[in-house]
Amino acid sequence: MTYDYDLLVIGAGSGGLAAAKRAARYGAKVGIIENDLVGGTCVVRGCVPKKLLVYASQFSHLYQDAVGYGWDAITPSFHWPTLAQIVDNEVNRLSQLHTRFLDQSKVELILGQAAFLDSHIIEVHNSSASHDTGKRKLTAERILIATGSEAVLPDIPGIELALTSREVFKLPKQPKKLAIIGGGYIGVEFAGIFNGLVTEVIQIVRGDNILRGFDEDIRTHLQDTMRQRGITILTETQLDRLEKTTEGTVLFLKGDAAPATLTVDAAVLFAIGRVPNTADLGLDLAGVAQTDHGAVAVNEWSQTTQPHIYAVGDVTNRANLTPVAIDEGRAFADTVFGNTPRAVNYANIPTAVFSQPEVATVGLSEAEAIVQLGEKNVKIYRSTFRPLYHSLTGATEKTVMKLVVDQQSNRVIGAHMVGKEAAEIIQSVAISINMGATKQDFDNTMALHPSTAEEFVTMR
C-alpha cells in the first residue's frame, strides 16, 4: 500500500516536535497535526509562561531584601494586564519559532483535530470561528501519538466556576484573593507566584503535607517556609462545592481544621493532577490499548499494541517531564528511522519545583532508599542553614540540602534541596549521581567558596 506519509505525528508539543524533526532529518516524509498553538503544554501553557510568572513574582521579595543592603525602601506597584500581555507575546513568539523550525525541517504542519479511522488512517477536522475547511483523510505507514495531558477537574457542584493552569494565564485581572486546590507541584508553584504578586493565597490540600512523593524533609521544610511567607495552607481539607454570590466565589469545605466556607473574589484554581489527553482520538478504532489509568500503553520502545503506532510524552504517563518527552521522541526516531535503536533511561531524572523557595531533587528519597535497601544500609547527610544572602536581609528563611547514600557501596543515590537556585545546583549534581559518584568522591571535591552549592561537598 502507498501511504501519504512515512510518519504522522499527532500533537506538536515537546515530544512530537522532537520526533518529527529528527525523523525528517533521517529522510522520512513527515506530517504533524496540531489543534492549538505549536509548542504544546510546555511552551504555550506550562513551563515557559509559568517560569516567566515566577520571575515576575520574585521582584517583590527583591524590593524588600534590598533595604538590608542599603537601598531605600519604596512602595512598588504592579500591573497584571501588562505582565499577562508580554508573557502572551513571548508564548506566541516561541510558537512561531517552533513553526519555522518545522518548515526548515521540511515537516508539514497540519492544523486540526485528529482522530483514528483505523490503524493507518487519520481524519483531521479543521474548524474555527473564521472558517471550516472540513475533514481530510490522511494515511501513514507509522503514526506517533504525542497529545500530552490535560488538567483534571472533579465532578462537584459549581465546577464551572473553576480555573485550571490552562486558563490562569489568561485572567483579565489579578485576583485579590485566590484559592488553589491541590498540593502538587503546579499548585505549589502558582501559590508562590501569586503570593509574590501580593495576592492573598489560600492553598487547600487533601493530605497532611504538600508535594506527595517528594522527600519528607523537603516537603515539610517547604510547607513551613511557604506559611512563613504568608501563604495559608489548609491541610486535610476537601472542597465540597462552589457557589457564585454577589461577594465572589464561595468554597464549601470539609475538614477538622478548615473553615466551613471561604470566599474569594473570583478565582479558584484547580491543580489536582493531570490525565493523558486521549479523548476523541478513536484509539479503539486503531486497536491501541490503554492502561487502567487511561494512558496509551507502550513498551520500552514507545511501541503500542499496534506495532506501527507509537506514543511518547505525558500521554503514556511514564515520567511526565518535558526533557523526558523530548528524549522519548528522539529515541523513537533514532530507533525507527535512524537504524540506531535506543531506549530511554528513566533512572536518576532530575526534577525541579519552581516554588518559592525553589525545590530540586534527583535520585531516591530517604523513604524510597530505605524500602529498596533497608534502613541499616542507608545513611543520610543533612544541612540546614541560613544562606549568606539573607545575613543582611533579616529574613530567617533557611536552605535545606540532603544526600542519601548507600552504605554498602558508598554511592550517593539521592540529592535534595530547598533554596535559591536549587534547580541549577541539582542539575550538576545529577551528572555525578548518574556517573555513580560515591560520598568519598563528593568529599574529595574542593569546595567553591562562598557558595550554597559547596555544602554538597562539605557535609560530614
Residues 110, 126: Cα–Cα separation, whole Å: 9
Q: How far is CA 421 from CA 386, 424, 428, in A?
A: 14, 5, 12
Residue type, 348: N
Distance CA 40, CA 117 (A): 24
User: Taking the mean position of all CA atoms in its chain, how far away is CA 299?
Assistant: 23
Spatial distance between the Cα atoms of 434 and 102, rounded to a whole number of angstroms: 33
What are residue 239's phi and psi, to 5 degrees? -95, 125
Q: For the purposes of burial, counting CB atoms within 10 Å of the CB of 31, is it exposed (0-12), middle (13-18) or buried (19 or more)? A: buried
Tell me if 181 sits within 8 A of 269, measured CB to CB: yes
Is residue 214 within 8 A of residue 361, CB to CB? The reply is yes
Cα–Cα distance, 10 to 247 (Å, whole number): 44
Expressed in percent and rounded to 5, the helix, strand and coil fractions of the chain are: 35, 25, 40
The amino acid at residue 413 is I
- Active-site residue (options: 79, 131, 293, 449): 449
Whether 189 and 353 have beta carbons less than 8 Å apart is answered as yes
Dihedral angle of Cα 90, 165, 294, 210, to the nearest 10 degrees = 120
Q: Say whether 449 is catalytic.
A: yes
- By annotation, the residues acting in catalysis are 449
